[in-house]
A and B are shown apart, each in its own frame.
Chain A
Amino acid sequence: MAAAEDASRPFAGLSDVSISEDIPVEGDISVPVGSTRRDDEFSTLDEPVKETILRDLRAVGNKFVHVLYPKRSTALLRDWDLWGPLLLCVTLALLLQGGAADSDDQGGPQFAEVFVIVWFGSIIITLNSKLLGGTISFFQSLCVLGYCIMPLTAAMAVCRIVLVGGSGKVSFAVRLAVVTVSFGWSTFASTAFLADSQPPNRKALVVYPVFLFYFVIGWMILTFSPSQ
């Protein structure tokens, strides 16, 4: 009976327990307010426009520096953006204009053709690396491939300057050297970033399409001939 009574009042015994006075029970029950940093990231409405743009520009510039001195780092991969590739692609396509394309129908690449080659080439290489089991994400790979076009764009600018001085054998030799160096630099930079995300016995299978991609772009730059 006593057990049944006790069972019916399961916490009955607790009323006899008194909280002794010498154990201080004190504290602060308050809901922690969300950190002010989170508010800033979500609403960039309050900051001046110049700061928003400068932050993105600084990120793009930072990645350019990483391509110039390629080390095995994850900076390009962590916060990817496609502003840099777009800028480089537009610059390259503009620099490839003004060639024999304007007069001939069998001339150099049109503006749209350069865009198609760069972006479709990057997409196909990304799909290839993902199908082969790469751990890199789609846009990260596009970002790396686009940023590593930078040496080739710089080579295109140099070639245009050299071509102003004339288009003889010497200028061809100089252009060949510049394009070869920048092609090697682009391929080396992109493999430095992409190498870690591939399974080890398929690295050559992933690097070869990148090599072919930059080779074709280098070929387009080398064969650019200005209209006379």
Chain B
Amino acid sequence: MASTNDPFQFQEFEEAGNLLEANKDAVTISIEDDFKPEKQRKAAGFAPDGEDEDPLAGDDKTELLSGQKKSVPFWTFEYYQKFFDIETHHVKERIIGSMVPWPGKNFIHVYLRRNPDLYGPFWICTTLVFAIAISGNISNFLVHLGKPNYKYTPEFRKVTIAATAIFSYAWFVPLALWGFLLWRNNKVMNLVSYSFMEIVCVYGYSLSIYIPAVFLWILPYEWLRWCSIVLALCLSGTVLVMTFWPAVRDDHPKVIVAIMSAIVVLNVLLAVGCKAYFFSKPEPALPVENSAITAAIKATAST
């Protein structure tokens, strides 16, 4: 159009210039990355009509490029496949991040980055179930070793009980917490809100510190067991509290205290309950026998 008209006519030249500018950016956006050029465009403040047609094309492209946010119905296989979109080093980083709470590093923001996975929570819970059952069995065997009337049994019923306890902690507590946070979000506008999958992910990975702790509990020393429980509770409790602090920070102080204490108390209950049910205390049988024997000797000596 500019070629057919007088090149010194300012209006056409400006229109063509604007179109060229907008088009130039459109071309560069489609080739380069998705998010950065959008931000630069919005920051530079282009003409609204230039932005109207580009974000539509940009949205399609960003959806295709990022591969997320496609609404797939939940009864298809592909819906669950997007929760397994991780690699080995991601899982390793997340496990280490859940064991070592670093001040300022929120687990969800730093490690999950909008990509919660179901692989970690599921397999960590399964490993923990079998670890508890096997370690409990070994510790029972070691405690009763040498006693003549002890018959070793593998105790497979306990696997079912351990599975129920751990899986309900890892799924129902996040459900309750998510529901509660959603309810508070309606009353108090929070800047940070977590999705259900992210909360499940945090809880699943926070259980990973208990796996080495459970293997430590095989040794029948009470002080060792209590030390390792306290250490594991501190680490995982700190990770959980630091993760949920930004979500409740703006709320009423009583609500903050209630949520944080609920998180910590449930964690404590799970750990102490598992220890008490699956790992029997070494019984103080010897002092009783000693006192009985000394009483018998005294009785015979006195007669």
Contacts and interface: CB of A to CB of B under 8 A. Distances in A.
Contacts of A225: 151-154
Contacts of B149: none
Interface string B118-139: 0100010011001000100100
A219 B91 CA distance: 26
B187 interface: no
A128 B119 contact: yes
A72 interface: no
Contact of A223 (B81, B88, B154): B154
A205 B88 contact: yes
Interface stretch (A50-58, A102-110, A177-185, A189-197): A102-110
Contacts of A105: 157
Interface stretch (A16-24, A80-88, A141-149, A208-216): A208-216
Contacts of A208: 123
A212 B130 contact: yes
Given A100-B151, A131-B81, A216 B130 contact: yes
Contacts of B84: 128, 131-133
A219 B156 CA distance: 11
Interface string B203-245: 0000000000000000000000000000000000000000000
Nearest to B120: A205
B80 interface: yes
Contacts of A131: 77, 80-81, 83-84, 119
Contact of B153 (A107, A113, A132, A202): A107
A51 B152 CA distance: 49
A19 to B, nearest CB: 60
B153 A106 contact: yes
Interface in B73-95: 77, 80-81, 83-84, 86-89, 91
A201 interface: yes
Interface residues of A, number: 28
B155 interface: yes
Contact of B88 (A106, A202, A219): A202
A223 B137 CA distance: 10
A129 B134 CA distance: 26
A203 interface: yes
A95 interface: no
A220 interface: yes
B88 A113 contact: no
A204 interface: yes
Nearest to A222: B154
A113 B156 contact: yes
Contacts of B89: 201
Given A128-B119, A131-B80, A131-B81, A205 B151 contact: no
What class of interface size applies to chain B in its complex with A? 20 to 34
Interface string B86-125: 1111010000000000000000000000000001000100
Contacts of A204: 88
Nearest to B88: A204
A104 B153 contact: yes
Contact of A220 (B87, B127, B154, B157): B154
Contacts of B86: 202, 205
A133 B155 CA distance: 37
B23 to A, nearest CB: 38
Contact of B134 (A130, A209, A219, A224): A219
A208 B122 CA distance: 13
Contact of B154 (A109, A132, A201): A109
A201 B153 contact: no
Given A131-B81, A209-B123, A212-B126, A202 B87 contact: yes
B108 to A, nearest CB: 21
A128 B118 CA distance: 10
A215 B130 CA distance: 10
A224 B86 CA distance: 38
Interface string A45-83: 000000000000000000000000000000000000000
- Which has the most chain B C-beta neighbours within 10 Å: A107, A201, A223? A223
Contacts of A209: 123
Interface of B: 77, 80-81, 83-84, 86-89, 91, 119, 123, 126-127, 130, 134, 137, 151-157
Given A106-B155, A106-B156, A223-B137, 7 more contacts: A107-B156, A109-B154, A131-B84, A205-B91, A205-B119, A212-B127, A225-B151
Nearest first, the 4 A-B pairs at minimum CB distance are: A223-B154, A131-B84, A201-B87, A204-B88
